[in-house]
Amino acid sequence: MTSQITIEQFWLLSPELSVVLLGFLVLGLDLLTKRRGLVTAVAIIGLAVPTFFSISLATSLFGPRPTSGFFGMLLGDQYSLFFQFLFLIVAFGVMLASYGYAEKYLRVTPGEYYSVILFSVAGMMLMGSTGELITIYIALELTSIPLYILAGFSRTDTRSAEAAIKYVLLGAMSSAILLYGMALTYGVTGTTDLHAIAAVITSPQHGILSGNLMLLAGAVFMFVGFGFKISAVPFHMWAPDIYEGAPTPATLFFSVGSKAAGFAAIMRIFVFGGLASVSGNYLWVMVAIIAAITMTLGNVIALLQTNIKRMMAYSSIGQAGYLLVGLAAVMIHNTAAGILGLLTFLAVYVVTNIGAFAGIIGLADATGKENIRDFDGLGRRSPWIAFGMGLCLLSLAGIPPQAGFMSKLFIFFAAWQQGSGLTWLVVLGLLNSAIAIVYYVNVLWRMFAVDPAKRDRLTIPGSVNLTMTLSVIGIIALTIAFGVLLTHVGTSANSLFTLH
């Protein structure tokens, strides 16, 4: 850790900084011109700049990549690079899919809409790149405040306003709980630096801290705070109402961006920061129980939904349960196998969920409807959208041989390797996967087997068709080159342990 801030450290921050500057550029351009297409093009094409900086860091294009910067608050490991690329994909997919919908239904200028997304993405990228508790909290707020705004962007819809109010209230409560947990952790360890916290917990001189009840309370409070962000039970109550009430593109952003950012921070704090080992390494029991309840409640209640966005909300809760299975596996023996499963699952989940929501956005844009029965006969009214959405839903359900099946298999395998402690959780996960197939296939059946009330062809925006095309290509590529994905993700997973 250097005592001076150098130009190399700004290079380490360049992806996040360029995203923020792009947000201000889009906002300023929106004030200077009425050409909405130009603003949209700048917002989407401008993502090439942070992508270039991330690639330069990954390939050491301008020299050796700094391992840390800004007094250790910013980390330059492979783990942070993985999430930088993942959140850039999220930003691209959300902005491209929502182009026509935002202009038609939100009644806001493109600059307002895209800048809010970009600012939130910058916060998400920082959540995966920081190695210090206060910086993580600031990154979380940078992520969350734009999300509250997005939830209420549909100004003429009372459901959107209700969603925004609920999101703000529950978000403020979860942030307070998280900050309290951070304060307890600092009080016990005397530092907010995660590397230093891990050293204090694991060192022979301070090993007693691994069983310190105050430190355990801090870890639990921090997990609860992030539990709201990832919509884990019993902190999930906000998700169904907010997913349904928020504009559909915002719902897509919540489902992929917020969840991935929450897990990025959780793994950074509990694995890199060593907090997974507090209280005799029994924290995993709490995580395993929450994982079991989360995936069961999410999948069972999803069966009962009639609104597609509420169904996807409960589906998202179920997916969070699968991810928590991987986290529990990591916490037992502190190995990279669970992290590998988690990161692989997140990569596949982001691509498939963008495609699934592209279909929902396309139907909503063409008809203004979002109930499951409104998908009746979509295979005849819009064959490509129905095909692409069907492929994404099958991947989310974990139907082999798709990447969604293989990524879920890796999470279960990582948990199975840990012995009898998590065997029951793997069996429950398999049963939940079978339940999930029912409500995903129900949508497929309606799209291709039920005659539509209207037989007219739907006019789907070109941006939605392009998003669906890219998602389908992504799913096929991830399925064919799954081994390549594992190799790169494995490097990211191992980097969480390299500094311990």
Q: What is the pLDDT of residue 466?
A: 92
Q: What is the pLDDT of residue 1?
A: 47
Q: Map tokens 């910058």 to a residue.
A: 122
193 φ/ψ angles, rounded to the nearest 5 degrees: -80, 125
DSSP percent split of the chain into helix, strand, coil, nearest 5:
80, 0, 20
Q: How far apart are CA 331 and CA 404, in angstroms?
A: 24
Q: What is the pLDDT of residue 500?
A: 46
Can you read off the two tokens belonging to residue 270?
A: 């509990």
The CA–CA distances, whole Å, from 113 to 19, 43, 48, 101, 230 equal 14, 10, 19, 11, 23
Q: What is the pLDDT of residue 59?
A: 85
Residue 132 β-bridge partners: 193
Residues 156-185 pLDDT 10s = 777 777 888 888 888 888 899 999 999 999
Positive/negative CA dihedral, 210, 211, 213, 219: positive
Give the chain's residues under pLDDT 70: 1-5, 61-63, 102, 105-107, 203-211, 279-281, 334, 418-420, 453, 498-500
Cβ neighbours of residue 38 under 8 Å, at least 6 residues apart?
29
Q: How far apart are CA 438 and CA 230, in angstroms?
A: 24
Q: What is the pLDDT of residue 366?
A: 82
Task: Give helix 420-449 / helix 383-397 axis angle, nearest 10°.
Answer: 160
Query: What are the residue ranges spanned by the domains of the chain?
Result: 282-500
Q: How far apart are CA 63 and CA 76, in angstroms?
A: 13
**Surface-to-core class of residue 439, CB atoms within 10 Å of its CB (0-12 exposed, 13-18 middle, 19+ buried):** buried
Q: What is the pLDDT of residue 207?
A: 55
Helix (DSSP H) and strand (DSSP E) numbers for the chain: 23, 2
Residues 189-212 pLDDT 10s = 888 888 888 888 876 565 556 567
Tell me the DSSP string of 270-325.
IIIT-GGGHHHHTHHHHHHHHHHHHHHHHHHHHTT--BHHHHHHHHHHHHHHHHHH
Q: What is the pLDDT of residue 420?
A: 57
Residues across the chain: 500
Amino acid identity at 413:
F
Q: What is the pLDDT of residue 141?
A: 92
Residues 5-47 pLDDT 10s = 677 778 888 899 999 999 999 999 988 877 777 888 899 999 9
